[in-house]
Structure formats: structure tokens, C-alpha cells
Amino acid sequence: MSIFHASAEQLELVESFVRPLEELFPVARLHRAEHTDYDNWVTAAEFGWFGISLPEEAGGIGLSVVEEALLFAQFGRHLISPGFMAASLAAKTASLSGNDELAQKILGGEIPVAIARQTAAGITLVDAENAKLCLVISAEGTKLFPVEAIQQRALLDRTQWSIALESAALPGNPIAQASEEDIGASINLLIAAQLTGIAAATLEMAVAYAQIRQQFGVAIGSFQAIKHYCTDMVMNVQAAKDMLSFSAVAMAGNQPDHRFQVASALVVATRAAFFNTGKNIQIHGGMGFSAECDAHLFLKRAHVLETLAGGLKASRAALRAENSIFGKDAAFTG
């Protein structure tokens, strides 16, 4: 039955992957300013997390983008640094550039990678303080640079957004690159996956709080307004999850409509993440507004991931460029 959705076997396999996550990456770590997920970089590489969908002979795990998407949804739940996505995309970029040696090194965890988005003014770097390579995403695809080649780096913020953001100039010659056609769907899928994880985690947080927080003598979850927020949140999660799984399977099977499906997944997941992280704060009330609550961390990370995708408006524009199977002359291929 895995021709449309992730199979039970795939879901189970990913379960085994994610068992270490709670221990290695408790969300609470983000409250410590000095934490860095790069401390676990080599461990992550050893788990094979950077090369889930790359063939074994290329140093990967030899699974598909379905397992990869499911894993990155878990990364989203744990607010793992987007650098981990950078590693996966950098290995693919190197591999697509024919630089297998570089890909192997990245997969092995030897060279920590950070991620950046090209902007009108240059690039925005995310969590790049411990990286040696930087993968820059743009509408044209990916480019890989040595971090030392990046000029005019300026720290925008490290505390407000709970992750280091820097602006910098776009460097010249990349050491590897991949076209949007080759890697665009991979980028969108991994970002959609993490946003889906964020939407799911905040739903669970909100429901758990609504069940225990008492006001007016009863749990606030018995109030219709809270119920309806939570229902909207769970519908968002269901839509984002199923869209993610469906699009990943289409991509793994190289279905002709897979770019349409993945672009849809990104739009659905982005909106789900914003709605759910915002409502989670509201449901938590004053507590949700406090720095010590996890709620704001999810909201902020959703913004960072949206930024890396080029912004929701750009994601919608990208979806516009795809042909729908529902279009006038298009055939259904299932």
C-alpha cells in the first residue's frame, strides 16, 4: 500500500531512528544561550541522518525521501538546528556536482555545514558559528561555499530568535552547486517536514495544557473557544502530515506530479506551523508569552524555516508555477 503513503514499515523504521532524539535534543536545551546542536554533529552523522536517501555506495543509508521526510518531521518537533538539513542538502549538492569525496566527508560528519538563504541584499545565515561549509539556498538551487569565503558577516541576533542569524555578502565561486530542478523538491520537502513537526508538537503541547490548566473551576479545554482552536490545529496537522507523506511517496516514485505535491506540502505545512505555534501561545496565556515556556521557540523556528524556504509568498508563487493534475487537460496518475 506504499504507493500513495508512507508504509507501516517505513513508519516503524523511522521510529527506531528517532528514539535517541529526546535524549540528545530536549527542546529545553534552547533556553540555554550557550547550547549548540553542533555538539551532536558527529553523533548525527554516525546515525546516518545526513544521508538517509542517498545510496549506500555514495555513503548514504540507501533509504528514500519518505524516510528522510519522516525523520525531519521529528527534527522539527525537537527544533533541531537547520544545519542538519544543510548537511543533507550539501551532501546531495556535492553528489549532484560529481564531487563524491566531498559528499562522503559531509555524510561522515567531518565538515559541519550551516545553511543560508540568498536575499536581495546578500545572504541570511542561520546558526553558522560552528560550521565550515555553508549551503546557500536561492530560487536557482543550492550553492556550497567554505565559510571562510563569506565576507561582511554581521550578527543580526542570537537571543531574540533563539538561534544565531547573520547577514553577509553572497560569495563568488561555490565548491559545488545544484540546480533548482535537481534539488528544489528536496529543499521544500525537508522544510515542509520540519514545519509539520512543529505544527504537530505545538498541537500536543496545547492539548496537554488545555487538559490541565484550570480557570473558572474547570479545565480550559472544556471551553468551546479552546476546543475550536485545538480542532483547527489538529486538522492542520492531519493535512500537513498526510500531504507530507503523500508528496514524499510521489517524489520517491518520481511521479510526474511530485513537484506539485511537494510545493503543496510546503504551503500547507508553513500555514499549519504559523497557525499552530501562534494558537499554542494564546492557549498557554501569560505562560505562553513568557520566555521560559517552550511555546515561543516553536513560533520563532517556524519563521526561520519559512525564511530559508524564501518566504510563504515565494512558496505560493512556486506552487503557481506547477501544473496541477486537476488542471483542464491533465491526466490523473494517482
Partner 1 sequence: MSESLDDFRARARSWLQENVPEHGSPMEGPESREYALAWQKRQFEGGWAGLTWPQAYGGKELSVLQQIAWFEEYARAKAPSTHNALFVGMNHAGPTLIACGTDEQKAFHLPKIMQGEVIWCQGFSEPNAGSDLASLRTKGLVEGDELVVNGQKIWSSYADIGDYQELLIRTDPASSRHHGLSWVICAMDTPGITVRPIKTMAGPAKYAEVFYDNVRIPLSNIVGGLNNGWKTAMATLSFERGTASLALQISLSQRVEELIAANDDAGVSDTLMDLRADAAALRAMSYQFAIKSETGPVGSEGSMIRLYFAELAKRVASASIDIFGIGAPQVLAEHGLGFDYFDSYSETIAGGTAEIQRNIIAERVLGLPRGSR
Contacting residues toward a second copy, per CB under 8 A: 223-225, 228
Q: How far is the CB of 211 from partner 1 (least distance, A)?
A: 7
Are 312 and 244 in contact by the 8 Å Cβ rule? The answer is no
Tell me which stretch binds partner 1 (CB under 8 A): 18-26, 82-90, 105-113, 240-248. 240-248
Query: All 3 cell numbers of residue 276?
Result: 499552530
Contact of residue 99 among a second copy, partner 1, none (CB under 5-8 Å per partner type): none
Min dist CB 207 to partner 1, Å, is 5
Residue closest to 313 by CA, chosen among 271, 275, 283, 251: 271
C-alpha cell at 268: 500547507
- Residues 78, 26: Cα–Cα separation, whole Å: 7
Binders of partner 1 among residues 146 to 165 (CB under 8 A) are: 156-157, 159-161, 165
Q: Which does 326 bind (CB under 5 to 8 A by kind): partner 1, a second copy, none?
A: partner 1
Question: How many angstroms from the chain centroid is the CA of residue 317?
Answer: 19
Residues 6+ apart with CB under 8 A from 186: 65, 88, 89, 92
Q: Assess 309 for contact with partner 1 (CB under 8 A).
A: no
Residue nearer to a second copy on the CB measure, 155 or 218: 218
Residue placing its CB nearer to partner 1 in the complex, 51 or 278: 278
Nearer to a second copy among residue 149 and residue 225 (C-beta): 225
Nearer to a second copy, 4 or 223 (CB): 223
Q: Which of partner 1, a second copy, none does residue 212 bind (CB under 5 to 8 Å by kind)? A: none
Neighbours of 282 (CB within 10 A): 14
Determine the residue type at 318. Answer: A
All three cell numbers of 307, joined, read 525564511
- Block residue for cell numbers 544565531: 164
Beta bridge partners of 136: 116, 143
- Report the partner that residue 73 touches, choosing among a second copy, partner 1, none (CB closer than 5 to 8 A by kind): none
Q: Tell me the C-alpha to C-alpha distance, in Å, between residue 109 and each of 43, 63, 181, 204, 241.
A: 8, 19, 27, 33, 29
Site for partner 1 in 241-300 (CB under 8 A): 242-243, 245-247, 260-261, 263-265, 267-268, 271, 278, 281-282, 285-286, 288-293, 295-296, 299-300
